[in-house]
Amino acid sequence: MSARAGIVVTGTEVLTGRVQDRNGPWLADRLLELGVDLAHITLCGDRPADIDAQLRFLAGQDLDLIITSGGLGPTADDMTVERVARFCGRELVLDTALEARINDIVTGLMARFPGVDAAAVRDANRKQALVPAGATVLDPVGTAPGVVVPGTPEVGPTIVVLPGPPRELQPMWSAAVATDAVRAAIAGRTEFRQETVRMFGLPESGLADTLRDAERDVTGFDRLEITTCLRRGELEIVTRFEPQDAAAYSELLAVLRDRHGREIYSEDGSSVDEQVAGLLTGRRLAVAESCTAGLLTARLTDRPGSSAYVAGGVAAYSNGAKTELLGVASGLIERFGAVSEPVAEAMAAGALQRFGADTAVAITGIAGPGGGTEDKPVGTVCFTVALAEDGSSARMLTRTSVLPGGRSDVRERSTTVAMHMLRRALLGEG
């Protein structure tokens, strides 16, 4: 029997759907990795009675761990630490060292807002230095510290209190897991292994078919917990199993490789972005985008260190820009249309030349909602990858796809198609 956990997500903006909760799913993944069984997620607004009710509910569900997110800011609607302290019957104590640390952080931030009364701001932030007696403080990543309140037989589970912004919550979760209180709470867990296979270019129903055959042929298939997920146009297969069932997973993997060798691009959890970054080492990439208008360049430069291999990109949204900035002959656009393979190739050639690059990607397509025709419906996108070898003329790989979905889907999916074309071209797989 593994340890059991519940998550309380607070915040009226999350409850009402104005802000999408990203912490529940992220924490769910972390608990899965730890082999902790997640039983409940509850969401409520910034109201004391509703927060109290959810804590009471979860404490009665035979859980080892409760994690809360949100409500740690300086405003009056931030009240999670106070409610948790009250629930656990612990007094709030001012942690003066913590107060000094928050003051330092806030004073630094205030330098950018000269009109604001720094003393009043420090008062507002003092509240964030109040800690339940006996709790462990988690150092703030923003200005808000978290706390871990150890479980007791009377109150129930250990409670981890984390801030709402994901970029603060995520690093603080690692600190929380390292505390004695959390380690003790989840000590009864079963160890699990989790493996991820990623594919591109296979429909979900094709995989379903393969998995049905695997169910018949793989010994111990029923002890593998397999979940499949279609994400960003890629298929992800996550398998969770106890270490003694590793042989069953190996058999499953062999079936997948046998049937879908070309579509599998990752067996170690690596993303296509990571793989492309590695393959671009020592190269110099330029991007030419029309319908995606910067999205692929932004994706490629999202990685630290990408300036070593990304020279830049042109978002040539108008035909004039294609001609002026990428040297696409206007006659080519007139003859074949802006969304055409010859124009994609000319854009890639222009990007190579203008940026002095040896590798280029070009995308031109119709993202919609308008602009589609019978010949070229919305979702039609032409891609070219160009690789210049040893000063000779470039090798060009070009394809056209019709991508499903609305405007953002087509734009987003186009970047994924381009990443996979780039990966295969750089691997010499065409």
Window 45-64: residues binding a second copy (CB under 8 A): 45-47, 50, 53-54, 57, 61
Q: Per CB under 8 A, which of residues 233..262 are in contact with a second copy?
A: 236, 238
> Which three-class secondary structure state does DSSP give residue 37?
strand
Question: Whole-number minimum distance, CB 56 to a second copy, in Å?
Answer: 9
- Count of residues binding a second copy (CB under 8 A)? 113
Give the C-alpha separation, 252 to 207, whole Å: 12
Question: Whole-number minimum distance, CB 315 to a second copy, in Å?
Answer: 4
Q: Please select the residue that binds a second copy; options are 26, 82, 255, 341, rule is CB under 8 A.
A: 26
Instruction: Rank residues 42 and 340 by Cβ distance to a second copy and give the closer one.
Output: 42
Do the bridges between strand 130-132 and strand 65-69 make them parallel or antiparallel, or are there none, so unpaired?
A: unpaired
Q: Quick check: 364 and 343 in contact, CB under 8 A?
A: yes
38 binds a second copy (CB under 8 A): yes
Contact flags string 77-96 toward a second copy, x per CB under 8 A: x-------------------
Q: Quick check: 2 and 37 in contact, CB under 8 A?
A: yes
Question: Whole-number minimum distance, CB 205 to a second copy, in Å?
Answer: 4
Question: In 10 A of CB 107, how many CB atoms?
Answer: 13
Q: Please select the residue that binds a second copy; options are 282, 356, 391, 428, rule is CB under 8 A.
A: 356
Specify the length of the chain in residues: 430
Q: Per CB under 8 A, which of residues 103..122 are in contact with a second copy?
A: 106, 109-110, 112-113, 116-117, 120-121
Q: Quick check: 307 and 301 in contact, CB under 8 A?
A: yes
> Which three-class secondary structure state does DSSP give residue 412?
helix
Q: Please select the residue that binds a second copy; options are 98, 293, 329, 396, rule is CB under 8 A.
A: 293
Tokens matching residue 50:
């509703």
Q: Please select the residue that binds a second copy; options are 152, 302, 373, 377, rule is CB under 8 A.
A: 302
Instruction: Rank residues 95 and 289 by Cβ distance to a second copy and give the closer one.
Output: 289
Q: Please select the residue that binds a second copy; options are 28, 92, 93, 279, rule is CB under 8 A.
A: 28
Contact flags string 149-188 toward a second copy, x per CB under 8 A: ----------------x-x---------------------
- Residue carrying the six token digits 């039609």: 380
402 binds a second copy (CB under 8 A): yes
Q: Quick check: 20 and 164 in contact, CB under 8 A?
A: no
Instruction: Rank residues 108 and 133 by Cβ distance to a second copy and give the closer one.
Output: 108
Give the C-alpha separation, 31 to 292, whole Å: 36
Q: Classify residue 106 as exposed, middle or buried by CB count within 10 Å of its CB (0-12, 13-18, 19+).
A: middle
294 binds a second copy (CB under 8 A): yes
Q: Quick check: 264 and 198 in contact, CB under 8 A?
A: yes
Give the C-alpha separation, 135 to 90, whole Å: 9
145 binds a second copy (CB under 8 A): no
20 binds a second copy (CB under 8 A): yes
